[in-house]
Structure 1
Amino acid sequence: MNLDAFWIILTGALVAVSCSLLGCFLILRRMAMVGDAISHAVLPGIVLAFLFSGSREVWTMLIGAAALGVACTFLIEFFHKKANVPADASIGVTFTWLFALGIILISVYAGKVDLDQDCVLYGEIAYVPLDIWLTEAGMNLGPRTVWVLGGVLVILLVFISLFYKQLYLTSFDPAFAAAIGISTSLWYYLLMGAVSLTTVAAFESVGAILVVALMVGPPATAYLLTDDLRKMLVISVGCGIIASAAGFYLALWLNGSVAGAISVIIGVQFMLAFVFSPSHGLVARRRRPAVLAEA
């Protein structure tokens, strides 16, 4: 493995771990597509950040994207709670009009500037080794993206470790959580803030499509394989890391898109779990009536 391959796989693994951890809680809350909504909704934030600052510097774009990501979560909850719109409908309405707003802003105000909505959607993880972080002394610290994603992952690990009980209760039984004094709204917004942070940190390098695939696929696979949340988190992380490494080598073999290959591996993992899961798999469900009949 050469150094560039190492950085690409490491980047994919960092995104996979972060997205998989959060995705487990999103699936339990039946809000798996929130990551998709946020990843699309950040586009107008990027454009507005450029229009107000006149700069395409990375941190300016990230701040604008993060602001719109948080706003997206507030709008989803507002439409769901205040207008009694179903959660899936509020997600769909919010991200479609925000993404459309971003496209309009680009076409009207930034048509001649290198701001491409396709970059937000698809990204290009293969370019990660090119964005090197050099110190003032000229020391090569490796790709800047790896440091950003590593910092985000540390924040998420601390967040989940310290507040696992609150996240567990508000995800499984929000009524019981409210009854014992845990604010379900507070933990909803904290979780959505973590999703926004992760999505914004990852979309520049891997693109929105791969972020969504990693936030939904590995947790959904783990959901079919276990009924224990701690095991679900571990299995989800493992599936994400395996998909990142296997997807890179599949793309290398096919000379194709790395993000696309990783997404394909994620789909294969889910299909295998769907068919062969010991408790929820298709084979196990078909065998169960036969076993009961023999008994």
Structure 2
Amino acid sequence: MSFDQNAFLIIITASMIAISCGLLGVFMMLRKMSMTGDAISHAVLPGIVIGFLVSGTQRGLEVIIGAGILGILATLMIDWLRKKARVQLDASIGITFTLLFAIGIILISVFAYRVDLDQECVLYGEIAYLPIDLWISSSGQSFGPRIMWLAILNLLLVGGFIALFYKELKITSFDEKFGIVIGIPASAINLGLMSMVSYTTVSSFEAVGAILVVALLVVPPATAYLWTRDLRPLIQLTILTGVLVSVVGYYLAYLFDSSIAGMMVTVAGIIFFLSVIFTHKKFKFTLGTQKETQPFSS
């Protein structure tokens, strides 16, 4: 079989996005905030529209900056509603993302009704176009796919953030009050984590879309959590699951001539449900073995 460079670029980029989302998703899951990524993916729409109006293009740096600012704003709103207004977390997430998403729709209808800023730009993405969307310098030199470099930068930032604040993230994820007692700035760590989630979500929109980003934030960590409760193995298994989803999802999409992002989400869901079935049977078998051996141990 000949080497397919385009397939390699798509798989490696999807894998890097999956790893970035999975690393953040582990700590989001431990904080019971997994669906905050979904809220951010909707709440950044006003920032995308404003960035588009400023730059005149969907690929401008202004779009990423605008969406990133709205993502941080959404995080602050959710945190304020939860802590100050004493609104339950799920309600605060729902209120925040619906309000900001509605503002984004109004901005599109009022200011950007003549431009092509449709749902496919944000929701679905199309990673199949990655090999032809090149980063070309002013001198005409090509440096490879633009989204791939964004994925590399994102992975470095996420990996660096987690490596630098691993202890703080671990403590505040399991017991935030204890972290505050021993002097860890829990609010700043939480804001940093949410900022990274916001940036990761926004920077991955164009390649894989919000649906796959949310799935990669939630499903691989949830799958890994079925197998282990230890943090380091949880992170390692999350990374492995994300890469597996990227590889299998791509080749199944190629086989069935379907959406790559959609197939990756489907594969992630199948792996999760297979894990549920297998770990449930393993748990029942373990309980049965313990019951059978109990008389001998006593």
Per the normalisation by structure 1, the TM-score is 0.95
Give the direction of change, closer, same or farther, for the CA distance of 1:239–1:134 in structure 2 (3 Å limit): same
Residue 196 of structure 2 corresponds to residue 194 of structure 1? yes
1: CA distance, partners of 2:111 / 2:239: 41
Q: Which amino acid aligns with 1:175?
A: K
Cα displacement string for residues 192-221 of structure 1 (whole angstroms, at most 9, x for unaligned residues)? 011111111111111000000001010001
| Selected match of 2:67 from 65, 68, 71 | 65
Alignment match, 1:97: 99
| Selected match of 2:215 from 213, 216, 225 | 213
Alignment match, 2:281: 283
Describe how 1:201-280 pairs up with structure 2 within 5 A. Answer: 201-276=203-278
2: CA distance, partners of 1:101 / 1:3: 42
Cα displacement string for residues 70-102 of structure 1 (whole angstroms, at most 9, x for unaligned residues)? 111011101111111111111111112211221
Cα displacement string for residues 29-65 of structure 1 (whole angstroms, at most 9, x for unaligned residues)? 0000011111111111111223345454421211111
2: CA distance, partners of 1:77 / 1:272: 35
Per the normalisation by structure 2, the TM-score is 0.94
Alignment match, 1:145: 147
Residue 24 of structure 2 corresponds to residue 22 of structure 1? yes
1: CA distance, partners of 2:291 / 2:243: 41
Checking the alignment, whether the CA contact within 8 Å between 2:55 and 2:63 is kept in structure 1 is no
Aligned residues: 291
Checking the alignment, whether the CA contact within 8 Å between 1:103 and 1:117 is kept in structure 2 is no
Give the direction of change, closer, same or farther, for the CA distance of 1:56–1:215 in structure 2 (3 Å limit): closer
2: CA distance, partners of 1:112 / 1:172: 48
2: CA distance, partners of 1:211 / 1:81: 27
Describe how 1:99-138 pairs up with structure 2 within 5 A. Answer: 99-138=101-140
Q: Which amino acid aligns with 1:283?
A: K
Query: What is the SS of the residue equivalent to 1:211?
Result: helix
Q: Which amino acid aligns with 1:284?
A: K
> Which residues of structure 1 form unaligned runs of 5+?
none
Q: Which amino acid aligns with 1:38?
A: I
Residue 33 of structure 2 corresponds to residue 31 of structure 1? yes
Query: What is the SS of the residue equivalent to 1:103?
Result: helix
Cα displacement string for residues 82-135 of structure 1 (whole angstroms, at most 9, x for unaligned residues)? 111111111111112211221222122211111113320111111111210123
Alignment match, 1:184: 186
> Which residues of structure 2 form unaligned runs of 5+?
none
Checking the alignment, whether the CA contact within 8 Å between 1:40 and 1:121 is kept in structure 2 is no
Alignment match, 2:43: 41
1: CA distance, partners of 2:42 / 2:203: 14
1: CA distance, partners of 2:100 / 2:206: 18
1: CA distance, partners of 2:50 / 2:134: 27
Checking the alignment, whether the CA contact within 8 Å between 2:78 and 2:92 is kept in structure 1 is yes
1: CA distance, partners of 2:182 / 2:58: 47
Give the direction of change, closer, same or farther, for the CA distance of 1:283–1:120 in structure 2 (3 Å limit): same
1: CA distance, partners of 2:59 / 2:158: 25
Query: What is the SS of the residue equivalent to 1:198?
Result: helix
Checking the alignment, whether the CA contact within 8 Å between 2:38 and 2:214 is kept in structure 1 is yes
Residue 160 of structure 2 corresponds to residue 158 of structure 1? yes
Cα drift, residue 292 of structure 1: 3.4
Q: Which amino acid aligns with 2:162?
A: I
Residue 77 of structure 2 corresponds to residue 75 of structure 1? yes
2: CA distance, partners of 1:39 / 1:7: 25
